[in-house]
Structures are given as structure tokens and as C-alpha cells.
Amino acid sequence: MKDIADLEKRFSYVFKNRKLLTEALTHRSFYHENPDKSITHNERLEFLGDSVLGFVIVEYLFSSDKKSTESVMAKIKSYLVKESILSEIADSISLGKYLKLGKGEEATGGRAKKSILADTIEALLGAVYLDGGYKKVKAVVLELFRKEIDTLMDSTRFYDFKTELQEKTQLLFGVLPEYRVVKQEGEEHEKVFTIEVFIEGKKFGKGSGKSKKEAQTLAAREALSQLSSSKMKD
């Protein structure tokens, strides 16, 4: 019980029903090898937790002042629920040491397997949701994921905004965006480029960067935001 309490401290939630936490930590290998010691395993909770996690992330992105497009929100969500990211989050609270594994999984390094860790963190979130409700699980998700989410939202290198803008302008207007260099400043090795992007002759975005590519990316990102705002007004 002391170990379980230590785990609860790591993700800032204390269970009212500890059976839910035990279920979340029980891998199917332990369940199959110990039918007398385990009523069930964590795969149902994992399924629930996957949906809960996705909803919390999307709600946070939707409510953010960044006003990301639906495409950007989808990409951030998809990135965050990847096995590699989920297993990193699980590692951050040392989840592996608390797992209930069968002897076979234990012998083959199951406590460090990314797939098992990723599944268990989702099961854990499903258990928190059932035990404490949406507000509680939202707090836990943001405690664990907020830094990663905010980093992704502030990243201009993570997304191909230029391709996204091109696809959107072709769909909406049947034309390609046009990028124009409007300013170059600084010495040759420290130049800063300012670029504006136009759609059908109308300026939709502006960006500055140490390379033309970076400036175009920022201009495209702003243009996508403008298009999204225009769409909402319509």
C-alpha cells in the first residue's frame, strides 16, 4: 500500500477506490498466470483512457489562445498519443516499477517495454476518470502532458504549415499562395528576412526569420489562422 501511495503522489491523485488503480496496473500476463489473485486486467481501462486522454488534449487545444486550426490540433493530438510519448510520460512517474506482470513478461523486461508502459498510462487515466470524474482526470492529464502540449503549440518546426496552406488555398480558392520578401535586414551572416503571403492578391500572413524558409513558415502559420478566423465569421 505504501508503494501505491508513492505512485499516487507522482501523478497528484489519491484514489477513493484502490481496486481501480490495481486493475489499471495489472497486465494481462499477470491475470492469465494468476487467476486466483486477479479478477481482471487493464485492457478495458486502457480503451477508456485512450478516449479520455484524447478528449482532454483536444479540449485544451481548442480553448487555448493560440486558436490552432483543426488540422494542427489533430496533428498535436496524434503526436501526443503515440507509444513513444506515452511511454516517456509513464517513465516520468516511474510507472514501470508498479506494474503487475506475469513471470514471462517480467523475465523479458516488460517493465521497460514502451508498449506496456503506454497502455498502462492510458489505463491509469481511465481509472482516474472512473474514480474521480472528468475534472480530476483533466487535472492529471494536464499535470503530465501540459509542458509537452505547450511546447508543440509554440513550435514552428514541427508542422509543415506551408503544405497545409497550399492544400487549403487550392481547396478554397483554386490557387496557390504567393510569398513575397518585403524586407531583409542585418549583416550577411545574421540576416533577418520578412516575408508576406498573399492569396488572390490579398495579404493573409507575415513572418520574420533567419532564413526565408523560416519566415515563410511563420507567414503560412499566420495565414492559416486568418483563414480559420474568416471561416468562423462566415
Q: pLDDT value at position 187? A: 82
Q: Is 122 one of the catalytic residues?
A: yes
How many whole angstroms separate alpha carbon 35 and alpha carbon 199? 65
Q: What's the average pLDDT block by block, 10 residues per block, for the chain (234 residues)?
A: 82 94 95 85 97 96 85 85 93 94 92 95 98 97 92 68 89 95 87 95 94 90 85 53
CB under 8 A, 24+ apart: contacts of 201-210: 204/177, 206/182, 208/183
Q: Which of 112, 127, 154 is the last residue of a domain?
A: 154
Q: Of these residues, 119, 122, 164, 196, which one is catalytic? A: 122
Are 95 and 176 contained in the same domain? no
Which one of 154, 179, 207 terminates a domain? 154
**pLDDT of res. 234:** 53
Question: Which CATH number do you get for residue 15?
Answer: 1.10.1520.10
**H-run or E-run covering 113:** none
50 has catalytic annotation? yes
Q: Are residues 110 and 33 in the same domain?
A: yes
Q: Residue 159 has what pLDDT?
A: 65
Domain span at 166: 161-233
123 with 199, same domain: the answer is no
23, 46, 50, 131: which one is catalytic?
A: 50
Residue 232, pLDDT score: 46
Distance CA(64)–CA(176), nearest Å, equals 29
Q: Do 16 and 103 share a domain, yes or no?
A: yes
In the β-sheet with 192-199, what is the strand arrangement from edge to edge?
Answer: 178-185, 192-199, 202-209
